[in-house]
Structure 1
Amino acid sequence: MSAPTADRKATGVFSPGRAQISARTLRTDNWLKSPIVTDLGFAAFLIYATVRAFMQDYYYVPQYHYLTPFYSPCVSKGCIPEASHFWPQFLPDWPILPYAAVSLPFLLLFRLTCYYYRGAYYRSVWQSPTACAVAEPHAKYTGETRFPLIIQNTHRYFFYIAGIISVINTYDAIVAMWGEDGFRIGVGNVILWINVILLWTYTLSCHSCRHVAGGRLKHFSKHPVRYWMWTQISRLNTRHKQYAWITLGTLMLTDFYIMLVAMGMKDLPIIP
C-alpha cells in the first residue's frame, strides 16, 4: 500500500514520526491465507443459510418431530401447525419473509457482533487491519466509536436473546425424543442434541456471559458462587473461537440431515 497523498492528513501507520515504508508489509509468509479462509468459511455458511431460510420447505418431520434450528421458533402462518408447538403463528405468510424471521435476525446479530467474529471479519472484510504488521487501507481509524461500528456495543443484549433461543432449541430436542410411536432415539436425535449442547457451549463461552457472571465484582471472596461461575465460563471462553466455527458446522449439519429426512430419507433408530 502506497503512502497517502500530500493533501490528506497522514494517520495510522503513516503518521508523522513513523517509519516511512512504501511497501504494504515486509512480511514474507503467506499472511493472506487466514483472511481468505475466513471469507470462504463465512461465505459458505451465509449462502447455505440464506438458501435454506427462503426455501421454506423440508424443515419439519412430523413422524419424528424433528424441527431444524433454522426454522425455530416457526411463528409464520405458513408453518406446519405441529412445527410451532405452543408458539403463536402471527407472521404473515409472505414468500420474501422467512418462517423464522423473528429469531434469525437476532441470531445473526449475536454472531455478527461477537468479539471473535468481529476480529475475523475486521481482518478479512473490513481490512482493519488485514493481518499483523500489514498496513490497513483506511486513512483514519475511529474504532467502534462511530456508526456503523458503534452498533457492536449492542452485543450484550443479543446475548440474552440468544440464550432464550437456545432454550427453545433445547425444548425442540426434548420434544423430538417422542415420535408417533412414543419414546425413541434416532440418529436425528443425536445430531439435534450435539448441536444444542455445542450451541449452549458457544453461548455460555461468550465474553458477555463472562461479564454477567463476574463483571463489576470488587471482591471475589464475598461472592463465591459468582466467582465459581466466572472461572468456569473463563475456561470455556479460551476456546470461544473454536466453538464459533464448530457451531456453524453443526447448524448446517443438523439442518441438512433434517432436510434429507423430510424429503423421504429414513432416519436410523438407535432406541426404537
Structure 2
Amino acid sequence: MKSVKKIIAALSAATMVSACAGVVASAAEAVNAVNVSYSTVAETFTAADGTVVPAGATAVTLSIENNTGFSASDITLSATADLLDTDGLVTATNGSAYGNATVSAAQNGSKVVITSASLDDSKNDGTLVTFYTTSDAEVTVEDASFESVKNNEISCYTSQQYDFYVIGDLNSDEQVNSKDAAIMLSAYNIAEADGSLLTTANGKALMVSIAKMNPAKYKLDSAKKVEAADGNKDGRIMNCDDVNYSDVKQLLNYAAATGAGLTYDVAGWHYGEYVGYVK
C-alpha cells in the first residue's frame, strides 16, 4: 500500500488551455450531475504546489449541473492514467463551483478521491476542479455526494453517551470526512466573528481551552468534540494557508488519502485515532 508522507494542497493556479475537447459524461437533467471534459494545456505553468504542468498536457475538468447547494462534497473517480501530483496529493485547480472551498484529492492506482469543505453552501453550476496528466487518460465518475452541513444536526450517538471520541469526527458518526471539515470551518468562523481567535506565529487560532468552556457556542455538542477538532493536539484549531498547522486542511487530506486506500502518515497528526473507551 502506498504511503502518504506529506500532503500539500494545490488549489489555485492560472491555467491556459485550448478549447474543450468534449464532454464524456453528462446527465443534464439530473440533480448535482458531475460531468467530465478534457482540454489541452496551451502553455507551461507552475501550479500552487510547485508542480510544473507542461504545455501539451491534458487538463481533466469536473463540472456540476443543477447544483442544489453544498458545503461538503466527496467524489470518487476511476482514472486510466496517473494524474500529476506532489508528495501524494493530486495537483488541482479550483473552479467557480468550488470557489473558496478547501479541496484535497488523492490517487491510488485507478482510484481518485476528491473531498471538499466550505463555510457557505455553493450553489453555482460550472467547473468544480481541474486535474492534469501527461498520459492519455479516461476518467469516469464512480460516485459523488454533495451535502449542505448544518452543525446542529449531529448523530444520535452523541459523545455524551461515551467516554471516547474519534479525532476528527465532529458529528459523531465515527467517520472523518468532508462534513467534519465543514463543521470545523463553521466553529472557526464563529470565533473569528466574535473576536475570540488568538493570533499566533502561524496564524489565527481558536484555542481549545476557550472553546471547551462553551462548546454549544461553536455548534459542537460537547467538550469532547472540541478536543476532536484538534488534530495535532497543540491546543489550537486552525484554518490557515500553511498545511503544517491547518487542522482543516489536514483533516481533508486525511479523508482524501484514506478514502483512496492510502496510508495517512503525516507526523504529529492523529485523525482517525480513538481516544478513551466505550462505556
Question: Into which bin does the TM-score normalised by the smaller protein fall?
Answer: under 0.3
Structure 2 length normalisation: TM-score?
0.21
Between Structure 1 and Structure 2, the one with more strand by share is: 2
TM-score by length of 1: 0.21
Highest relative contact order (Cα 8 Å, sep 6+), 1 or 2? 1
Larger radius of gyration: 1
Q: Which has the higher helix share?
A: 1
